[in-house]
Amino acid sequence: MARVFITGSTDGLGHAAAKTLISEGHEIVLHARSRERANSLNDLAERAAGLVIGDLSSSAETQEVAQQVNAIGRMDAVIHNAGVYRVADRRPTPEGHAQTLAVNTLAPYILSTLIERPQRLIYLSSGMHRQGSPSLADIDWVERRWDQTQAYCDSKLFVTTLAFAIARRWPDVLSNAVDPGWVPTKMGGAGASDNLEMGHLTQTWLAVSKDAPAMVSGKYWYHRKQQAPAREATDPEFQDHLIAALGELTGISLF
């Protein structure tokens, strides 16, 4: 039995992953953006090991989420599932960051830094990370004209790179990135054509399975099969530069 924390578990892939792992007998710590959103977890809350609340677009609330998780106890795995897709404008967070960057990249970075180190980390990527820009100039979109699709692609390149940077720096942790595919969730839309079940079962498999193929680190997965990520994500120099940039933006050092 494993204890697993899942961000963004009120709906979509996160909710499906939580439901699957609870049904398999694992201890699951749920996450909701607000107490109002937590109401949608009534079907799982009574069977969960805990519930933490905090808006991941806020650095301060993300740090509080980490504190709540640590108060419950050490996790065996953390699934960084929460994310936003196409946000119409920069939409500054309380700390002044672009919301897309804050939720998709800064929050996983902060949580990875502050949550007591688990045995496994799973980061939700996207096939669109391959269209992300490898330039780290103005990653917070302060000077550039806002482009919602490019901002999303960049944020997913960055979180994929984070997964591989951790795999390289923390050899005692299995850290992987997962492309769930274009699945019919609230984010993906009803017209999405990929397999919703495989979208979340890859996450849960990497989080708890003892199968030899799942006991690896620094890999990029799609439907339980390894794929080649963007070249930049596996480049140690790019990883180090990104980690330095995220540390500067958040004021929190990962390594």
Asked if residue 160 lies in contact with residue 177, where contact means CB atoms within 8 angstroms, the answer is yes
Helix axes 107-114, 148-169, angle to 10 degrees: 20
Q: What share of the chain is helix, strand, coil (3-state, %, to 5)?
A: 45, 15, 40
Q: Which residue out of 19, 109, 123, 152 is catalytically annotated? A: 152
Local structure of 111: helix, strand or coil? helix
Give the closest residue to 240 by CA, choosing from 224, 255, 225: 255
Which ranges of 46-189 does DSSP label H, i.e. alpha helix? 59-72, 99-101, 107-114, 148-169
Q: Which residue out of 19, 85, 123, 156 is catalytically annotated? A: 156
The answer to whether residue 152 is catalytic is yes
Give the closest residue to 181 by CA, choosing from 219, 148, 147, 225: 225
Local structure of 148: helix, strand or coil? helix
Taking the C-alpha atoms of residue 154 and residue 209, their distance in angstroms, rounded to an integer, is 30
- Tell me the CA distances in angstroms from 51 to 35, 65, 85, 205, one per residue in order: 10, 10, 24, 22
Catalytic residue numbers, as ranges: 152, 156
